[in-house]
Amino acid sequence: MRGLQMYYEVHGDGQPVVLLHGSFMTIDLAYGQLIPELSKNRKVIALELQGHGRTADIDRPLSFESMADDVANLLQYLKIESADVFGYSMGGTVALQLAARHPQAVRKLIIASAVFKSDGWTPETRAAIGNLKPEFLEQTPIKKEYDRLAPDPKHWPQFIEKVKQVSSKPFDFTAEAKTLKCPTLVILGDSDGIRIEHAAELFRLRGGGVNGDLAGVPNSQFAILPETSHVGVMATPIGGCRSSTTSWTRPSTDSRAIPD
């Protein structure tokens, strides 16, 4: 992972919580309105994954495993032994891998609108991912933020292709989901691009779906948000924002680059 400079921000004090954004997103797009609320009583660590926002891409395919290791390296650098982790969409799958590969780093896990198997997306969503082209996002906030923040805005087509590849490549993290030790909250919109059955299966893998009166209430929870789409999950209070060495750069308040 040498050569990756991961942009991150730290806000507030208290029990640390890590925020992992979805595909194509940045800290501000995903969590800009949530961070001020969370940071009132929590230490918030928000970051931008490989190729996203202010974190430049490197000559390495995107993978959930490598991005999870990047997050673990950041926590180690910040001397944070354990944190609650919130991951949305792609970030939710990265969060699952973080908890599986670095269990000591994850105290509690929140997985919002994310899949643990590639067939968790609805057929229509899988088709849309496979047919995605850079020009489809040209007039969106995603592209505007990429042009504003990316170290190399001309890398846009390659960035889109990398995200497509990691999102459409077959994968199955059932074994990892089943063996996690941390309490888990699974969140899904009832009009999400993820099959409700898939999210329910993840909840069961995390010990849910039992008769709490007989077996006891499990330490995992499942929330389905009514009248809520995949993007809409991040516009609700429960979902998000209401409406081998790795180096990092800090936000503008302390914009030093940590040397490789």
Lowest mean pLDDT among 112-126, 176-190, 229-243: 229-243
Asked whether residue 68 is assigned to any structural domain, the reply reads: yes
Q: Is residue 163 part of a domain?
A: yes
Q: What value does the mean pLDDT of the chain take?
A: 89
Which pLDDT value is given to residue 215?
A: 85
Residue 13 within a domain: yes
**85 lies in a domain?**
yes
The pLDDT score that the predictor gives to residue 133 is 93
Q: What are phi and psi of 248, to 5 degrees?
A: -135, 160
| Percent of the chain whose pLDDT exceeds 70 | 90
Token pair, residue 153, equals: 């805005």
- pLDDT tens-digit series, residues 211-253: 888 888 888 999 999 999 999 998 765 554 333 334 444 443 3
Q: Domain count of the chain?
A: 1
Asked if residue 196 lies in contact with residue 125, where contact means CB atoms within 8 angstroms, the answer is no
Q: What is the pLDDT of residues 36-92, one digit of tens each?
A: 999 999 999 999 999 999 999 999 999 999 999 999 999 999 999 999 999 999 999
Is 259 a domain residue? no
The answer to whether residue 18 sits within a structural domain is yes
Q: What is the reported pLDDT for 237?
A: 59
State percent of the chain over pLDDT 90: 82
**pLDDT score for 204:** 96
CA–CA dist 7, 28 (Å, integer) = 12
Which structural domain, as residue segments, surrounds residue 229? 5-254
Q: 3-state DSSP call for residue 29?
A: helix
Residue 186 inside a domain? The answer is yes
Whether 260 is covered by a domain: the verdict is no
Do residues 45 and 31 lie in contact, with contact meaning Cβ atoms separated by under 8 Å? no
Write the CATH number for 15: 3.40.50.1820
